[in-house]
Amino acid sequence: MNQIQEKKQIRDIFLSSSIDKFKITKQRDGNYPAIITISGWRSQDKDNRKDWEESILKIYPDREWFHLEWNSEKIPFIDKALESNMPSINMETEKPNDYNKIFKRAFFLASLVVSPIVPLVTSSLLHTKLLNNYWHTAVRNSKQTGDNLAQVLNACKNKDFILVGHSLGARVIFNCLSYLSEKGLHSNIFEIHLLGGAVSSNPKKWSKTSLTVKNKIYNYYSDNDNVLKTAYRASMLSTEPIGLYEIENKKVINRNTTIYIDGHTEYIKNFSLIKNGWYR
């Protein structure tokens, strides 16, 4: 496939997409395998490419770099409540039935934080429904985004890529792998890095998808991630996210970053630290 055909195929993918935002922007020229960074939930309305840039320059100084923007459903009014005001949660002692209680308490705290902007809502049921709507919309968007990304990569058959995703960005990557696996498409994904991933760690879900990656899958998780302990667990019920647990798969290298990562938003700016720290 020549470059003109490649660009036409990629353009057709964009035109047929059902999501509002899917934009891959080149950040820097360089060598291949190229890097594609994907942010996730809670970072959509903040331009965090600067945080990515600092890490990418340190880890991959000579690589071409792209950044994927998508509809990750930013939920601004729970940021401080989940990261700052919530007490530390021990997953070993918390019972599954307590997740919604924890979640509702987080929403009440959030409403106090943003009361000058958002009217105070005292109904914890409404709080839960509101976040579930945001969350499930983001999950749905991550599926379409992952499918689109898989088709774009498949159109670039002679080029390899390293995917780096944070939060729901890791879910986009999982959906991308799933699409390639289910459709039996050629994969040019060389390596993957998943930071605080908001996707299930169920080994059965990774058994086939992992085969689409040529090298290794690196999973970075932290026990200090209260966002995944509350919002994710309450919305997705019994699933165990990779941002809190290991993925049991021979192709996956799991890295416990608890001593480096204090919260869900700490991954991107500390990516070079948690990655290079394991290879020195």
Q: What is the mean pLDDT of the chain?
A: 76
pLDDT computed for residue 277 by the predictor: 72
Is the pLDDT at 13 greater than 90? The verdict is no
State CA 213 to chain mean position distance. Answer: 17
> Tell me, what amino acid is at 173?
I
Q: Which of 5-19, 66-80, 244-258 has the highest mean pLDDT?
A: 244-258
pLDDT tens-digit series, residues 123-138: 444 445 555 556 677 7
Tell me the DSSP string of 81-105.
IIIIISPP--TTT--GGGHHHHHHH
Confidence of residue 163 (pLDDT cuts 50, 70, 90): very high
Give the integer Cα–Cα distance in Å for 224 and 38.
Answer: 22
Q: Is 167 left (phi over 0), alpha (psi -120 to 50) or beta?
A: left
